[in-house]
């Protein structure tokens, strides 16, 4: 029970990574680069921003400010990916940096103070802040993917009209403590 927060947060991050992965699987490189309006963010730009944030926040997480002087945030909003493979490689690099930073943490780390732009956060507050930030943008990625694919979109959750069947399947199992992502 001691590490239930840390185990849960890792599963939450894995869940959001998976939503992005499943969205990318359904899209072509041109669809990933599509901007719906001038100066709106394409999926490609959102990925570049998320990765830039991850590398800045999670590199030397416990010992350095989360806003690194080598980060050029404004450049994250200029699409420079040359291929879908490059985009996915960078996506995975950002996630690896995050997981390398949080998987070794233990209960003793959670109240330690870390800084983001000189603002102090406990480790748990910083983890929650970033989870909210990434889920916000990954929600945008999924929505853009759905708009791009239209009726060809493969649902990432309970498909429309399937709630009753989904609930029947869930309630057919014994009550037990488990993370909701274990059945996905």
pLDDT tens track for 131-157? 999 999 999 999 999 999 999 999 998
Output the CA–CA distances (angstroms, integers) from residue 58 to 62, 66, 99, in the order listed. Answer: 8, 7, 9
Instruction: Give the length of the chain.
Output: 184
pTM above 0.75, yes or no: yes
Tell me 117's DSSP state.
T
Structural domain count, the chain: 1
Query: Is 182 part of a structural domain of the chain?
Result: no
Element (H or E) spanning 116, and its range? strand 113-116
Domain assignment present for 54: yes
Residue 39 is part of which domain span?
4-157
110 within domain boundaries: yes
Helices 43-58 and 123-149, interaxial angle, to 10°?
170
Q: What is the pLDDT of residues 25-56, one digit of tens each?
A: 999 999 999 999 988 999 999 999 999 999 99
- Does any domain span residue 166? no
58 found inside a domain: yes
DSSP letter for each residue of 63-93 = TS-SS-TT--GGGGGS----SHHHHHHHHHH
Residue 121 in any domain: the answer is yes
User: CATH number, domain at 153?
Assistant: 1.20.120.450
Question: Does a structural domain hold residue 75?
Answer: yes
Answer whether residue 168 is part of any domain. no
């Amino acid at each position: 029970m001691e590490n239930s927060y840390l185990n849960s947060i890792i599963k939450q991050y894995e869940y959001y990574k998976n939503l992005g992965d499943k969205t990318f699987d359904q899209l072509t490189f041109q669809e990933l680069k599509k901007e719906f309006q001038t100066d709106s963010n394409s999926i490609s730009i959102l990925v570049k921003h998320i990765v830039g944030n991850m590398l800045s926040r999670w590199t030397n997480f416990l010992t350095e400010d989360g806003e690194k002087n080598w980060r050029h945030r404004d450049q994250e909003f200029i699409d420079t990916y040359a291929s879908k493979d490059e985009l996915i490689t960078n996506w995975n690099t950002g996630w690896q940096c995050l997981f390398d930073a949080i998987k070794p943490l233990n209960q003793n780390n959670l109240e330690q103070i870390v800084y983001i732009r000189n603002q102090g956060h406990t480790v748990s507050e910083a983890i929650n802040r970033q989870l909210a930030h990434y889920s916000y943008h990954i929600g945008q990625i999924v929505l853009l993917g759905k708009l791009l694919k239209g009726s060809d979109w493969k649902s990432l959750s309970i498909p429309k009209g399937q709630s009753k069947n989904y609930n029947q399947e869930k309630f057919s199992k014994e009550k037990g403590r488990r993370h909701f992502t274990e059945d996905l």
